[in-house]
Chains A and B, each alone.
Chain A
């Protein structure tokens, strides 16, 4: 779906996932270094770090692959 000059929706999705990946990974690392007072169930798995990292990688791929200079 590309009207002339239109940025791909996948680029917007990539940017948002990239930002979410950074924020969630950072929050996960913070929890690793400074454990919260009330630990969550399965806190030892540090889901924030790997799920944030996964979102970051997906977001990075989409941001680059669907960048405006390539798809416009």
Chain B
């Protein structure tokens, strides 16, 4: 399957840069194999990461295949509103994880989020969470794999099968060799390369556009629409902004349920923090990551806005007939900006950044999947007592099998492209209710085992039900998303919010109807019965809360600046 047209052509120098990257990530995998002997090494990187390494890895695992290109495309389509997914849709949740939730994850010594549910609630809650997480993870991994390969086909003319196999087998190899240790090492490398490869575009773009004000003026001249460069002032009505969303959807759906659900309970990212070497490092890691997360719009959103200002052509929606006929889509804005400014060498570095983004996201999926499968599904359900080496071997096999299932999913999507439409909703099915279960478990002593399980199940089924309702009867959108004008993103947000509320209500009701666990069993798991280590002996500047307050202040200031 070859593309007839492509946006970029790589020179031999660019290919050398890409090849060097692959050589180094594989070399790191082979080098680290000798340090990966026990289950603790393979699944939790020996719990030996510094705050900086865990923090950068935490951030990089989130930079999936389409993180860079997809959100740059969203910025081109929706304007600066896309920044909400990086600021209010991430920063408060990351700080909350570091300050409030991390002590319970870390002190309980759990190896996974489903593992925490087992300790706090019961085996059924863990099983439900582990199976839904495993399903979601390999499916998302396959979808992202296909999406990345598709982009490489459009941008570089690379064969889809070639992109899928080379990149995924590389990830499979280095993760199989070195486990989470290898994944984290490479994620830090990938994080640096993403910045090195992508930062030049906004720098040169702002020079060309005449700075921020020049860019804003150019966008307004071209679109005759002032709403593209305002973050909050256009959110008073669904119809006043390019995204068709209301501020309540952003604040309660995105910032509260989706963001807190993802950043505090999605094991894909939480696993990186669990690998920290002590509680202080584990608490600092999300705070350090939040600083970089707040800066990511510079390399993702700004290029999209600059594309609106300086690109001579008009990009089209991905699903439009024009895109099918070969016109560049919104997602192509970043490669087009690369082609605009970057010659041989720099172009290779930019493409390496895109590939690194994909691989870091995939390694995150694969390591989380192998841990949850081995510790939360295989061990409790199939083989409870086995030597540590057996579980390490299972983790290695599971890595390979997880990648193979992902590749299979990618090929399935190639045949049935409509699958892409359905997976966007997966997050609201599984993560939003999980957040309700975890947060109640951590903060409310009265939550019972039965309450946790039935709440999680009700939230998940409720979310799937709402999705099906709108599919069968599109007029139901006015109830699910509060407006018939709501777009897909807005619908996802409100569905997540309702499923979270459903989970919480059912958990509370069932908990009051059932017998609570004795307090002694909740020590180390729940607020109020867990002795937390004092940080009074630490100087102020070494305390996580100090840095969290600084980040929070900067967060408020940037939101006001771009209001």
Are the CB atoms of A3 and B35 closer together than 8 Å? yes
Is B412 an interface position by the 8 A CB rule?
no
Take A45-B207, A47-B200 as given contacts and tell me if A19 and B343 are in contact as well, using a CB distance cutoff of 8 Å.
Answer: no
Are the CB atoms of A52 and B189 closer together than 8 Å? no
Are the CB atoms of A13 and B343 closer together than 8 Å? no
Is B6 an interface position by the 8 A CB rule?
no
Take A1-B49, A9-B53, A19-B20 as given contacts and tell me if A41 and B208 are in contact as well, using a CB distance cutoff of 8 Å.
Answer: yes
Looking at B53, B189, B342, B346, the one whose CB has the most chain A CB atoms below 10 A away is B346
Are the CB atoms of A12 and B208 closer together than 8 Å? no
Give the chain B neighbours of A40 by CB distance below 8 A: 340-343
Q: How far does the alpha carbon of A19 sit from the alpha carbon of B27 in the complex, in Å?
A: 15
Give the chain B neighbours of A52 by CB distance below 8 A: 345-346
Q: How far does the alpha carbon of A31 sit from the alpha carbon of B344 in the complex, in Å?
A: 9
Is A61 an interface position by the 8 A CB rule?
no
Are the CB atoms of A1 and B20 closer together than 8 Å? no
Are the CB atoms of A31 and B343 closer together than 8 Å? yes
Q: How far does the alpha carbon of A55 sit from the alpha carbon of B192 in the complex, in Å?
A: 11
Are the CB atoms of B31 and A48 closer together than 8 Å? no
Is A65 an interface position by the 8 A CB rule?
no
Q: How far does the alpha carbon of A21 sit from the alpha carbon of B131 in the complex, in Å?
A: 45
Are the CB atoms of B192 and A13 closer together than 8 Å? yes
- In the A-B complex, the 8 residue pairs with the smallest Cβ-Cβ separation, listed nearest first, are A27-B345, A24-B345, A27-B344, A9-B185, A1-B49, A1-B48, A41-B340, A3-B35
Q: State which of B31, B204, B342, B345 has its C-beta within 8 Å of the C-beta of A7.
A: B31
Q: How far does the alpha carbon of A42 sit from the alpha carbon of B341 in the complex, in Å?
A: 7
Q: A12-B24, A12-B189, A42-B341 are in contact. List 9 more A-B contacts (CB 8 A).
A: A1-B45, A13-B188, A16-B189, A16-B193, A27-B344, A31-B343, A43-B343, A45-B204, A48-B346
How far, in Å, is A37 (CB) from chain B's closest CB?
A: 12
Are the CB atoms of A27 and B13 closer together than 8 Å? yes
The A contact surface, by secondary structure, is helix
Are the CB atoms of A23 and B345 closer together than 8 Å? yes
Q: How far does the alpha carbon of A23 sit from the alpha carbon of B20 in the complex, in Å?
A: 11
Contact pattern, B 12-44, Cβ under 8 Å of A = 1, otherwise 0: 010011001100100110010001000000000
Are the CB atoms of B208 and A20 closer together than 8 Å? no
Are the CB atoms of B346 and A47 closer together than 8 Å? yes
A-B contact pairs, 30 of them (CB 8 A): A1-B45, A1-B49, A1-B53, A2-B48, A9-B188, A12-B24, A12-B189, A16-B20, A17-B192, A20-B17, A24-B346, A26-B345, A27-B345, A28-B345, A31-B344, A40-B340, A40-B343, A41-B208, A41-B340, A42-B204, A42-B207, A42-B208, A45-B207, A47-B200, A47-B204, A47-B341, A48-B342, A48-B343, A52-B346, A55-B196
Take A23-B13, A27-B13 as given contacts and tell me if A36 and B343 are in contact as well, using a CB distance cutoff of 8 Å.
Answer: yes
Are the CB atoms of B341 and A17 closer together than 8 Å? no
Is B50 an interface position by the 8 A CB rule?
yes
For chain B residues 141-182, which have a beta carbon within 8 Å of chain A?
A: none
Give the chain A neighbours of B53 by CB distance below 8 A: 1, 9
Contact pattern, A 3-19, Cβ under 8 Å of B = 1, otherwise 0: 10011010011011101
Q: How far does the alpha carbon of A16 sit from the alpha carbon of B344 in the complex, in Å?
A: 17
Are the CB atoms of B349 and A3 closer together than 8 Å? no
Q: How far does the alpha carbon of A52 sit from the alpha carbon of B344 in the complex, in Å?
A: 11
Give the chain A neighbours of B341 by CB distance below 8 A: 40-42, 47
Q: How far does the alpha carbon of A30 sit from the alpha carbon of B21 in the complex, in Å?
A: 23
Give the chain A neighbours of B50 by CB distance below 8 A: 1
Are the CB atoms of A9 and B189 closer together than 8 Å? yes
Give the chain A neighbours of B185 by CB distance below 8 A: 9, 12
